[in-house]
Structure 1
Amino acid sequence: MTGNAKAPRKVIFNADCINVMQAFDAASVDFILTDPPYVTRYRARDGRTVANDDNGRWLRPAFRQMHRVLKDGGFCVSFYGWNRVDLFMDAWRAAGFRIVGHLVFRKCYASSTRFLRYEHEQAYLLAKGNPARPARPIPDVLDFPYTGNRLHPTQKPIEALAPLIEAFTQPGDLVLDPFCGSGSTLVAAHQLGRDWTGIELDNGHYRTASKRLAGQPQHRAAA
């Protein structure tokens, strides 16, 4: 951490992430891993939707706060909607992030079929300042096991998130997910011996994430 900068640890907030992050100290978070709404008016096959997926008004202020609370030399991994990449790029750059990598998560199934069979997810690796390179860089193509989306309409698998947390943090670091959904990032961080903080606007998903984290055993020591 930078100096005595602090942010809450091992807590999930049921609130707007912009308002919550405004209360954090600057440079108080070691790593951000998040799957924000894609601004695509997404509707799952069972009719479930994602809060704030119908507008991009939150994009710039949310990423501005993420950049502020992230320590200098830290990383943020953000999933994004490929057909709204212009909006996300604008928000990331306006916040002050440098784009230093692109990640592709390969699926063994098609999430939808239109002009193509859509068999991957994607995220960008964003940096604040000039971070050191990881000791053991991970591949930019990772497997994405099927979760069944039982807990959230766009649920991410822990197995795809854990390598990112392991590569860009150390045990005891604070991992923030401002759009934590059902809590997959937080569970992955917990299992790797990292501290975590989540923020979720939707009360139902907040309750799911809270229950999920409450059921986690004491984390194992990281190798």
Structure 2
Amino acid sequence: MTTTVNAPRNMIFNGDCIDVMQAFDTGSVDMILTDPPYVTNYRDRQGRSVANDDNGRWLKPAFAEMHRVLKDGEFAVSFYGWNKVDLFMEAWRAAGFRIVGHLVFRKRYASSSRFLRYEHEQAYLLAKGTPRMPARVIPDVIDFPYSGNRLHPTQKPVEALRPLIQAFSRPGDLVFDPFSGSGSTLAAAQALGRDWVGIELDNGHYRTATRRLAEANRRAAA
């Protein structure tokens, strides 16, 4: 007997990602691309903050659920805070992910300047099981245009996410972001012909992402 494995498609949930993921079937998503809180108590120039960025209690249970819902032999890409990399590494390994690559996103501007001018973002490429080799191997340094952070205090540019989705998923696959923010991952997935599902804790960002994806859908249908 064949068991059908399902997860919601083309919708965003407003809630705690750990709770919401528990309703997903095991092995039901094809790729994860996410930008979780960096556990740095971040506040931007406008005073905006990120939910749950003041603690790391969610790290291990969230990544454990991400590993469970990801299909065997597939990839996850997770941004992280460089000064809390020990916490992220511990959570990824405890969940069962293999660390198979590192990505640097090159900025043409400094997000801040202290001991150094901070002109890059970073993410790790994680694997569940033994994945296939990508059909097109991308470089581990990717340009990172300025998004303006108009929709979210740490808004990622869609242009920097598209190569990741193209490399580590296929058309029709389900791309998942449990920390959706303003929906950049979901917008990139939709534009590339992937299905998508997201979760966002903050109600304001959830509404922003919902409007953004609906508007992209309307433009595509016009």
* TM-score bracket relative to the smaller structure: over 0.9
Letter in 1 for 2:14: N
Note closer, same or farther for the CA distance 1:17–1:181 as it changes in structure 2 (3 Å cut).
same
In structure 2, what is the equivalent of residue 187 of structure 1? 187
1:155-199 CA-to-partner distances (Å, cap 9, x unmatched) read 000000000000011110000000000000000000000000000
Q: Is 1:217 aligned with 2:217?
A: yes
Note closer, same or farther for the CA distance 1:219–1:172 as it changes in structure 2 (3 Å cut).
farther
Tell me how far 1:135 sits from its aligned partner.
1.3
Letter in 1 for 2:122: Q
In structure 2, what is the equivalent of residue 94 of structure 1? 94
**3-state SS of 1:204 partner:** helix
Asked whether the 8 Å contact 1:104–1:142 carries over to 2, the reply is yes
Task: Give, in whole Å, the separation in 2 of the partners of 1:180 and 1:106.
Answer: 22
Task: Give, in whole Å, the separation in 2 of the partners of 1:127 and 1:55.
Answer: 25
Task: Give, in whole Å, the separation in 2 of the partners of 1:31 and 1:215.
Answer: 24
Note closer, same or farther for the CA distance 1:96–1:137 as it changes in structure 2 (3 Å cut).
same
Task: Give, in whole Å, the separation in 2 of the partners of 1:213 and 1:136.
Answer: 27
Tell me how far 1:217 sits from its aligned partner.
3.5
**3-state SS of 1:90 partner:** helix
In structure 2, what is the equivalent of residue 68 of structure 1? 68
The share of aligned pairs that are identical, in percent, is 78
Asked whether the 8 Å contact 1:190–1:219 carries over to 2, the reply is no
Asked whether the 8 Å contact 1:12–1:206 carries over to 2, the reply is yes
In structure 2, what is the equivalent of residue 167 of structure 1? 167
Task: Give, in whole Å, the separation in 1 of the partners of 2:16 and 2:108.
Answer: 34
Q: Structure 1 residue runs of 4+, over 4 Å off?
A: none
Note closer, same or farther for the CA distance 1:170–1:3 as it changes in structure 2 (3 Å cut).
farther
**3-state SS of 1:33 partner:** strand
Letter in 1 for 2:68: R
Letter in 2 for 1:159: E
Note closer, same or farther for the CA distance 1:3–1:135 as it changes in structure 2 (3 Å cut).
farther
In structure 2, what is the equivalent of residue 203 of structure 1? 203
In structure 2, what is the equivalent of residue 13 of structure 1? 13
Unaligned ranges ≥5, structure 1: none
